[in-house]
Amino acid sequence: EDKVVQSPLSLVVHEGDTVTLNCSYEVTNFRSLLWYKQEKKAPTFLFMLTSSGIEKKSGRLSSILDKKELFSILNITATQTGDSAVYLCAVDWGTGKLIFGQGTTLQVKP
């Protein structure tokens, strides 16, 4: 059965901390892995990863994919309270359909 598993499910940190969110997957057809941020509305796109070992960066966020070990990580450095959200990992089967992980709820305290 195709599945995407995220860990941890929830995380509480203080401003300035660095966090690493994990996403592992088992899918029969893999096209890309995507990270989204969700704050009480529809998810907003963060990254799309298709190749192993190539880090993608956007400000304090970065992500990398390991297609051999079937996982990805999302790093957030110097966290801010505005980073508090649910972070979703999803895998695209190649048809456009996405399988989502359970999400990681991140709370950043001042």
Partner 1 sequence: GAVVSQHPSRVICKSGTSVKIECRSLDFQATTMFWYRQFPKQSLMLMATSNEGSKATYEQGVEKDKFLINHASLTLSTLTVTSAHPEDSSFYICSAPDRNRYEQYFGPGTRLTVT
Binding site for partner 1 (CB under 8 A): 31-32, 34, 41-45, 48, 88, 90, 92, 94-103
CB 44 within 8 A of CB 37: yes
- Based on CB atoms, which residue is closest to partner 1, 64 or 88? 88
Q: CB neighbours (10 Å) of residue 15?
A: 13
Residue 78 Cβ vs partner 1, minimum distance, rounded to whole Å = 27
Residue 41 Cβ vs partner 1, minimum distance, rounded to whole Å = 6
- Based on CB atoms, which residue is closest to partner 1, 19 or 34? 34
The DSSP 8-state label assigned to residue 60 in this structure reads T
Residue 90 Cβ vs partner 1, minimum distance, rounded to whole Å = 8
In the Cβ-directed half-sphere of 87, how many Cα atoms lie within 13 Å?
31
- Based on CB atoms, which residue is closest to partner 1, 8 or 94? 94
- Based on CB atoms, which residue is closest to partner 1, 47 or 79? 47
Query: In terms of C-beta density within 10 A (0-12 exposed, 13-18 middle, 19 or more buried), how is residue 28 classed?
Result: exposed
